[in-house]
Chains A and B, each alone.
Chain A
């Protein structure tokens, strides 16, 4: 079994799944669930919607696993292409869901009160969430993808269907706007 944070041999996982070992896919779920939720959170989805989209992403990845061609790119890029499309569809379908205060719903979804020590973290989450929500969905998507350690800028560009230059421009613009929003919030 693979460590969730350690390296994962995707070709070995695919071979095992192909041989009929469904449980081998759990390694993919374990490896990608953390970064995927991080991505969906930065996209502005509420915890409940994020869980739905995350589940749907893994189910689609499973269904289309035979279509994945390692010669055409890394598994991560293929996986986040599915996640990005589902997240953008969801945001386009229900933009009003962004209005839900993230911290409050996070608390309710977990079923436990935030510990006193993590109040600052909860506040920081809420401010970041609000600032990210003010960005256009396209810029937010590029920024959220760029925050995933596994993805190189070229892969972000491929997922976004654009060039590395265009991604850099979008990132610069998004970061500048985000910094301005956070700065205004500080005053």
Chain B
């Protein structure tokens, strides 16, 4: 087995070239702020609340109709 493997793997095959950091920062200067690009969380608007309320009302009317149907059948028998 090759004995110096751990030592060998510590060898840096590549190092950052001169001016790398400056080049990256130059390109970043042209980009928008990460937080400006991220969309703020949207508050639920009135239409969404109305849709939920309508769905709840429709569901409740179905439930009342079902209960009334059972009562009507049992009281008629």
Contact = CB atoms under 8 A, between A and B. Distances in A.
Interface of A: 17-18, 20, 22-23, 25-26, 29-30, 33-34, 36-38, 40-42, 45, 47, 50-51, 54-55, 58-59, 62-67, 102, 106, 109-110, 121, 124-125, 128-129, 132, 143, 147, 175, 178-180, 182-183, 186
B28 A22 contact: yes
A74 B27 CA distance: 25
A109 B17 contact: yes
B38 interface: yes
Nearest to B38: A66
Majority SS of interface residues in chain A? Answer: helix
Interface string B9-51: 1111111110011011101110101110110000000000000
B1 interface: yes
Given A63-B37, A182-B2, A58 B13 contact: no
Nearest to B21: A29
Contact of B20 (A33, A38, A121): A33
Interface of B: 1-2, 5, 8-17, 20-21, 23-25, 27-29, 31, 33-35, 37-38
Contacts of B12: 34, 37-38, 41
A34 B16 contact: yes
Contacts of A125: 11, 13
A62 B35 contact: no
Given A29-B24, A40-B14, A124-B8, 10 more contacts: A26-B25, A33-B16, A37-B12, A41-B12, A58-B28, A66-B38, A110-B17, A129-B13, A178-B5, A180-B2
Contacts of B9: 42, 128, 143, 147, 178
A37 B23 contact: no
B27 A182 contact: no
